[in-house]
Amino acid sequence: MASFAVALIILPNDAIDYGTAGVAIIISKLTKIQLSICVIAVFIPFLIAGYIFMGKKFTLKAAVGSVVYTAGLDFFEKIPFELNTEHFLAVAFGGALLGAGLSLILRNGGCIDGSEILANIIVKKLSDITGRNYSMTPILLVFNALVYLTVFFVIDVTAALLSLLVYFVATMVIDHFTDHFEAIKQVTIITQDPDGIISDLKERLNKTCTIMNSRGAIAGENNTLICYISYFELPVMKEIISSHPGSFSTVSTIEEILR
């Protein structure tokens, strides 16, 4: 879905994708190198960084998503197709379709954009150093602002404005289907094995948590743990909780933490 939207709707209507895909498109336009090759070349360094900082499982999913996305670009670029309508409507539709495709990837723990990997690594490092939780949103905004400024100066104003529309529509769709993946997630865990979960949180995510005594109507005495993580840490959190029988959790989105 994402590669179809980019290759057959967004690019033919003078707009570009955002993130590292946008960087790859700019390089492709300036050098005339095939787009799929540029996407892989730009994404590989971020994929390596993801393996180092975020683990094998995430990197595998990101690699699969990237390969399928790149193969899709290569396939759809060769298909003669024209969406015969105004650029504005075509780009809005393409952005929505792109956002829907990316939502499916993100909901299943994958990623095809290096800017998200970069933002997650920076947030993780800041959290490890300061002990605080940070949102990825400012980092992604800065990254994409640099991409669109490059489009503005290197390509043209129309392409930059249409690309901003793609970004706006796609992120709105992603937020709708992934419950604001850029925001901080609060995980509330009910468990009778708090020490084991706390140990795993520290070892695998380098996170701490708040502990509260609680009591279940049937289970009796237990503990409630509250922890704050990023969207991309959710798959690891699920593994930790599932490895401790009798534990369960709820996840909610936190827009901001005041200190």
Q: Do 47 and 152 lie in a common domain?
A: yes
Tokens matching residue 136: 């990825």
Q: Are 191 and 244 in contact (CB under 8 A)?
A: yes
Q: What is the pTM of this model?
A: 0.76
With respect to residue 58, please indicate whether it lies within any of the assigned structural domains: yes
With respect to residue 21, please indicate whether it lies within any of the assigned structural domains: yes
Strand (E) or helix (H) holding 63? helix 56-76
Domain span at residue 138 reads 2-178
Q: Do 22 and 81 lie in a common domain?
A: yes
Mean pLDDT on 178-200? 85
Q: Residue 232 contacts by C-beta under 8 Å, 6 or more apart in sequence?
A: 54, 58, 109, 111, 116, 120
With respect to residue 259, please indicate whether it lies within any of the assigned structural domains: no
Q: Do 146 and 201 lie in a common domain?
A: no
- pLDDT for 13-48, tens place per residue? 888 888 898 999 999 989 989 988 999 999 999 889
Check whether 132 has a pLDDT greater than 90: no
Predicted confidence band at 238 (pLDDT cuts at 50, 70, 90)? confident
Check whether 110 has a pLDDT greater than 80: no
The per-residue pLDDT of the chain, averaged, comes to 86
Predicted confidence band at 259 (pLDDT cuts at 50, 70, 90)? low
Q: Do 166 and 190 lie in a common domain?
A: no
Q: Do 44 and 119 lie in a common domain?
A: yes
Q: Residue 87 contacts by C-beta under 8 Å, 6 or more apart in sequence?
A: 13, 14, 15, 162
- pLDDT for 69-108, tens place per residue? 899 989 998 888 777 678 888 888 999 999 998 888 887 7
Total tally of structural domains belonging to the chain: 2
Quick one: 120 exposed, middle or buried, by C-beta within 10 A (0-12, 13-18, 19+)?
A: buried
Q: Are 9 and 75 in contact (CB under 8 A)?
A: no
Least confident of 65-69, 160-164, 241-245, 254-258: 254-258
Q: Do 29 and 134 lie in a common domain?
A: yes
